Amino acid sequence: MGGNLAKYLEKQQSKNPTKLDLQNKSIVVVPPNIGDLATLERINASYNKIETLPPEIGNLSNLKALIMVKNRIKELPQEITNLGKLMELNLSINRIEELPRGFGSYNHLRMLDLSKNKVKELPAQIGLITTLVELYCSFNQLETIPSEIGRCTALEVLKLSFNKIASLPVEVGSLLALRNMDIASNRIRLIPPDLGNLEHIEEFSISLNPVVDELDKVAREGKVKLFEYLRSDEYFKLYHSHVPPTDEVDEKKLTGRDKEY
């Protein structure tokens, strides 16, 4: 279908389709007239050879799911942020290096999958997507996580494994709905004590990180022991002996706890 896609889409206009399945069709180019299918709610164009998306993709104001797994996409058009009804965005297994401006404009997005790309940075605007329930960013080039992620309080699944992350922001401790968190295979030595607040965690992986010996020893005893340790004064002191307090509140906490030693 690669070369005939524009004609196919033109024929679809009169049918007012809500779904478009273009999986494994040897598609290289998505033509601009895809933006004419205003009734579309779901597009699955996975397993093709698509390198770019046309700006007209932003005209699909009713789109709820955009699935583009395993293509060759390097860059996203800024217009993709116009998809205000989007609930699922799966761009895994592509070649994306950065996200466009205004990426936090999604008011209904529940699942975002950017795994197996080349993303170097999550924008601070990620914190505006307060509806996010699942965020997959494993196998990228991330070195930091923005503190604004702490605003995504609906998050239940957070996958950040196989990146270059050296530390986590304390705001991750605000994600009280988290059930599954994977930060395996990064460059993390210590995790914020605030993660001890995550009482609903069912699965947690910190393996294949250069964590300090004290933390590594407890982590090997299992999730329950690990989170008990994160809440302890002992770990609070250990953490802040390596990581200076970042604000006045932390300074007061540390001073207060130090009185016990």
Q: In this predicted structure, what is the pLDDT of residue 3?
A: 61
- Report which residue type is found at 225: K
Distance CA 261, CA 251 (A): 16
Q: In this predicted structure, what is the pLDDT of residue 242?
A: 86
All structural domains of the chain with their residue ranges: 2-258
Q: Do residues 40 and 61 make contact, with C-beta atoms less than 8 angstroms apart? A: no
Parallel, antiparallel or unpaired: strands 65-67 and 42-44: parallel
Q: In this predicted structure, what is the pLDDT of residue 243?
A: 81
Backbone angles phi, psi at 152, to 5 degrees: -85, 65
Using the Cα atoms of residue 136, residue 142, residue 146 and residue 147 in order, give the sign of their dihedral: positive
Distance CA 109, CA 33 (A): 25
Look up the pTM and report it.
Answer: 0.91
Q: In this predicted structure, what is the pLDDT of residue 192?
A: 97
Distance CA 147, CA 17 (A): 40
pLDDT tens for each residue of the chain, 261 residues long? 656 899 999 999 999 999 999 999 999 999 999 999 999 999 999 999 999 999 999 999 999 999 999 999 999 999 999 999 999 999 999 999 999 999 999 999 999 999 999 999 999 999 999 999 999 999 999 999 999 999 999 999 999 999 999 999 999 999 999 999 999 999 999 999 999 999 999 999 999 999 999 999 999 999 999 999 999 999 999 999 988 765 544 444 444 443 332
Q: Do residues 129 and 109 make contact, with C-beta atoms less than 8 angstroms apart? A: yes
Task: Report the CATH fold assignment for 2-258.
Answer: 3.80.10
Q: Is 100 in a helix, a strand, or coil?
A: coil
